[in-house]
Chains A and B, each alone.
Chain A
Amino acid sequence: GESVGLHLPTLSVQEGDNSIINCAYSNSASDYFIWYKQESGKGPQFIIDIRSNMDKRQGQRVTVLLNKTVKHLSLQIAATQPGDSAVYFCAENRQEGSYIPTFGRGTSLIVHP
């Protein structure tokens, strides 16, 4: 399943499928990007980050892709599980100064067993 971020805030997938969550960022000067997962009633939890000198970074079952040309970020989750159900936020940041991220609106991921 695939979302277009701000234009489709909910993504529903079947357990075991791969999920792709998209995000468009706005500031060309941003050089550090983070994906957060937020479960109901909890604060955001760091998932994975990527610096602007990279275009791909992999973690455990997650991959982040960065396309600086079109200012686009995506989060791929392999073999999606019910525990992955949450709202996912991308955030853009600078690697200097106060490291204050700007969060996108978020995409709700619903995983059906």
Chain B
Amino acid sequence: DTGVSQNPRHKITKRGQNVTFRCDPISEHNRLYWYRQTLGQGPEFLTYFQNEAQLEKSRLLSDRFSAERPKGSFSTLEIQRTEQGDSAMYLCASSPPVGGGLLHGEQFFGPGTRLTVL
């Protein structure tokens, strides 16, 4: 399968613990996005990378959240001192370079990591 992969698929943690999620985008996709999705809502943008550079961050991304994409390939999203309000599905998406790939703006989503904070 050459789609976007995310690990783990499910994570249950206790409040106050740190968690880290990983996203492996489609090869040669230089753009990578993280979203958060709660039940019944659409995905909410968290942050965006172009290659290894983190170009945009949402106000939703508090200082407890940090994301990296050190080599411009896979990315990690870490949440420190988790709170119950952090419980959600965390989605990763990737897209090809503009002009060199498919449709402008088309994003390919992974299956998500479901986080439950007890």
Contact = CB atoms under 8 A, between A and B. Distances in A.
6 contacts: A32-B104, A43-B112, A49-B106, A95-B105, A98-B55, A99-B31
Interface residues of A, number: 24
The SS class assigned to the A binding surface is: loop
A43 B41 contact: no
Given A43-B93, A105-B40, A99 B111 contact: no
Contacts of A104: 42
A13 interface: no
Given A43-B112, A98-B31, A99-B104, 9 more contacts: A9-B40, A32-B104, A42-B112, A43-B110, A98-B48, A98-B55, A101-B105, A105-B42, A106-B42
Interface of B: 4, 31, 33, 40-45, 48, 50, 55-56, 91, 93, 95, 98, 103-112
A7 B43 CA distance: 18
Nearest to B103: A49
